[in-house]
Structure 1
Amino acid sequence: MVSYLARRMSRPRVVAIVLALAAILVVSLLPTWRAEAATPAATPAGTAAGLIPTLPGRVLLLGRITPHLQQLSVADLAAKYPQHTQTVTFQSGAGPQTHTYTGPTLYDVLQAAKPTFRSDVKNDALRYAAVIHASDGYESVLSWGEIDPGFAGTEALLAVTQDGVSLAKEGPRLTAPGDTKGGRYVSGVTAVTLVRAGL
């Protein structure tokens, strides 16, 4: 039957029909491909952004810094940077919480990592944000303008103690003083990635 039809139709017409069928097949598969592309890959526990293995109690600094990868322990965070203490209250799923944290500011840690801001772009630092990754895959973001003392100056800490207890085992905790909700109080921080938004 197929050979009979092929003999009856001109070659250009056969090619046109084959191309049309191929186009229909591609269009029918597009929703499936889009769904697969939109599904984020699972981030394994103990990895930074699902790429680099991390050790408990250690933080990787990634992104627009020099060098492009640095690793700090809780002991490093306690010894190498000025320490700040803050008592904060925020809402959690279990109700209001009040804790006292001690540690370096996120700003001091990132500044020491030498961010590679562009000198030819006015206020290039304001295009940057720090993505905070947790050991359970949770992530949160603070913009550079929030933590820079020359702008909002929020003293977000990479806390090494909570209520006087060391966080060396589980890893530091990010604080976000001024936030009413506790969503940006990230526990078990494993990585901080400095990223630039826009072109």
Structure 2
Amino acid sequence: MRVTAPGDVKGGRYVSNLVKLEVHTATSTVAASGGGASTQFQLLGAITHPATFDLAALQTLPAVTRTVGGSIYTGVSLWNLINASGIQTNASVKNDLLGFYVVATGTDGYRVVISLGELSPDFGNQPDIVAFAVNGASLGTNGFARLVIPNDGKAGRYVSNLVGLEVVSAPR
């Protein structure tokens, strides 16, 4: 059996001769606050430079735009944000990055998982962003920051009112 990741830039997420497939619960230390509008989020976990971002801090970073479902989102590249924080990979392990994921958490406790292999330009190259504006205006009830996954057909992995992005190394 072979598992593939169509569109993978280098085929690094292909697994040949699959003998075991495990499903685990993703963990996160970021606590929800019971809902409501967010005003900042933490970037933490397996990174060298943890940080807290508010709207002003996000707006100082290089902006990108993505048109998704008729809306134009402005924000920062999720990959660039995480990568610039120094992902703590082990250079002696081939494609170590593929064992990392990020858990995004909203104020209401809604959580989604994104593999760093999905985001990396060397593998999946997904154009995910942390948006701070939609159609030239604030996000309103979606908080100051919203995770937007442009290739997510049903928007099920969008996280409004973002309070945390935690980078995790999967157990080996």
RMSD: 2.1
| Residues 131-146 of structure 1 aligned to structure 2 (within 5 Å) | 131-146=103-118
Report the CA distance between 1:168 and its aligned residue. Answer: 8.2
1:72 match:
53
Q: 1:185 aligns with which of 128, 144, 158?
A: 158
Alpha-carbon offset, residue 110 of structure 1:
0.5
In 1: Cα distance, 2:39 partner to 2:135 partner: 17
Q: Measure the CA separation in 2 of the matches of 1:150 and 1:159.
A: 23
**Aligned ranges 1:170-181 → 2 under 5 Å:** 170-181=143-154
**Deviation sequence 1:149-180 (CA, Å, 0-9, x none):** 11111110000101211248822111111111
Question: Could you tell me how far apart the structure 1 residues matched to 2:133 and 2:32 are?
Answer: 26
**Corresponding position of 2:20:** none
2:60 is equivalent to residue 88 of structure 1: no
Cα offset, 1:62, TM superposition = 1.3
Q: Which one-letter code corresponds to 1:185 in the other structure?
A: Y
Larger Rg over CA atoms? 1
Q: 1:115-194 counterparts in 2 under 5 A?
A: 115-167=87-139, 170-194=143-167
CA 114–189 in structure 1, closer or farther in 2 if over 3 Å, else same: same
CA contact (8 A) 1:171 1:190 kept: no
Q: Check the 8 A contact 2:46/2:88 in 1, yes or no.
A: yes
Residues 95-115 of structure 1, C-alpha deviation per residue, up to 9 Å, x if partnerless?
Answer: xxx321001111011011111
Q: TM-score, normalised by structure 2?
A: 0.75
58, 77, 83: which one aligns with 2:40: 58
Q: Is the 8 A contact 2:32 2:105 kept in 1?
A: no
Distance 2:140 2:38 in 1: 8
- The letter of the residue matching 2:58 is L
Q: Structure 2: which amino acid aligns with 1:175? A: V
Partners in 2 of 1:114 and 1:168 — Cα distance?
Answer: 31
Report the Cα distance in structure 1 between the residues aligned to 2:154 and 2:57, rounded to whole angstroms.
29
- Contiguous gaps of at least 5 residues in structure 1: 1-46, 90-97
Q: Residue in 2 aligned with 1:106? A: 78
Matches of 1:168 and 1:159, distance apart in 2: 12
Q: Which has the higher contact order (CA 8 A, sep 6+)?
A: 2
Q: Where in structure 2 are there 5+ consecutive unaligned residues? A: 1-28
Distance 1:162 1:102 in 2: 6
Q: Quick check: which one's helix share is greater?
A: 1
Secondary structure at 1:59's aligned position in 2?
strand
TM-score after normalising by structure 1: 0.65
